Amino acid sequence: MASTRSSLKAASLFLLFSSIHAASTYEGCYKGTVNNERTLNLYNTASNDMTVQMCATFCADAEYFGLEYGRECYCGQTNAASQVAESECSFACSGNISQKCGAGGRLSLYHNDDYVPPSSPAEVGDYIYVDCYVDDLDNRTLPSKVKYDPDLTLEKCAAFCSEYEFFGVEYSSQCYCGNDLTAQVRPEEECRQRCGGNRNQACGDSKRLNIYASKEPRDKPGNPSDVCGYSYKYCYTDHRDARALRADVKRGNDMTVETCAAYCDGYLYFGLENGGECYCGDVLEAGQVAPEKDCSRACEGDSKQLCGAPDRLSIYISDVQ
């Protein structure tokens, strides 16, 4: 009887293992990082009981999953890593020593054959889909307004950016707005991270934006030429360690050009930065004139006005000098 039970148990385990793996294909042994970034960078987990089946379940809505260092599981939408010799994936899985779970810096990589990619609908409200674009952390593709929401959807981002020509979604939870688009187009498969609030929608990826354009032209924000006894001068560089205007500062999520002008009344200069920061001074201590397009962030208190950008000041000078 014991022998029969053991045989039945072994057969059941074999069927379970086969059913789990029927939906995935082993790709081989790959490098775990490329240019200091994870090969599979969507999300990850680790366990002292890790198995291939456990990782496959955890990464069920990702196109690829991989196991590393015996106990680590990584999920991702693309695989741009280099394949290496199979012998380099020599670690047994911590939860099943008969399975291989990569090694230090090496992934045992699988493709999820049941993967259904999230979609970028052709239209969202009065916006139409454009393409997948590169985003630069130091020079944002859509820098005018930003929102972070773990439950982000395309509809939420479209509503947030309703006054702008473009909106873009990135890395599952980031929404960006802007009026100009000059970034590099990338293959669509690089923009397939799922939106936090709707797993069927695509929300870019790391440094990748799904971008939508408005069907109707929007009124673009600009700098008032004159306000409260001050005149607009130019866009100017700034740095937190060496501020261009050092006398006084005010921050707020209701910032406008008029608010900053009133706050800095009596100073020779005032400048607006990053949407909600106001700086005052009688001397421009450091920095240099920057291209006007660098000061593209809308004011938090008035989306029709420009309030610099990160490390960029919209500078005004007093008419009384």
Joined tokens for residue 249: 């500062």
- Is it true that domain 123-214 has CATH number 3.50.4? yes
Distances (CA, A) of 114 to 193, 209, 293, 317: 16, 25, 45, 61
How much of the chain, in percent, has pLDDT values that exceed 70?
A: 93
Q: How far apart are the first and last CA of the chain?
A: 102
CA distance 252 to 9: 65
Predicted local confidence at residue 79, as pLDDT: 67
Per-residue model confidence (pLDDT) at position 9: 37
Q: What is the pLDDT of residues 40-90, one digit of tens each?
A: 988 899 999 999 999 999 998 888 999 999 999 999 877 677 899 999 999
State the pLDDT at residue 211.
Answer: 98
Where exactly are the structural domains of the chain?
A: 23-112, 123-214, 226-318
Cα–Cα distance measured from residue 193 to residue 307, given in angstroms and rounded to the nearest whole number:
31
Confidence of residue 124 (pLDDT cuts 50, 70, 90): very high
Residue tagged 């930003």 (tokens)? 146
Q: Give the DSSP letter of residue 166.
A: E
Residues 292-319: tens digit of each pLDDT:
988 988 899 998 899 999 999 999 999 9
pLDDT reported for residue 10: 36
What does the CA dihedral 154, 159, 163, 165 come to, rounded to 10 degrees? 10
* Residue 173 scores a pLDDT above 70: yes
Per the prediction, the chain carries an average pLDDT of 89
Helix H segments across the chain?
2-21, 52-58, 154-160, 257-263
Provide the percentage of residues in the chain whose pLDDT is more than 90: 71
What whole-number distance in Å separates Cα of residue 278 and Cα of residue 264?
8
Architecture of domain 23-112: 3-Layer(bba) Sandwich (3.50)
Least confident of 12-16, 152-156, 199-203, 233-237: 12-16
Q: What is the pLDDT of residue 98?
A: 96
In this structure, the number of other CB atoms found within 10 A of the CB of residue 203 comes to: 30
Q: Which residues of 257-286 are buried (b: 16+ CB within 10 A; e: fewer)?
A: bbbbbebbeebbbbbbbbbbbbbbbeebee
DSSP-based three-state secondary structure for 108: strand
Give 196-251 pLDDT, tens digit per residue. 999 999 999 989 999 999 999 888 888 888 999 999 999 999 999 999 999 999 99
* C-alpha distances out from residue 317 to 63, 169, 314, Å: 55, 37, 10
- The predicted structure's pLDDT at residue 182: 87
φ/ψ region of 291 (left if φ > 0, alpha if ψ in -120 to 50, else beta) reads: beta
CA–CA separation, 119 and 66 (whole Å): 24
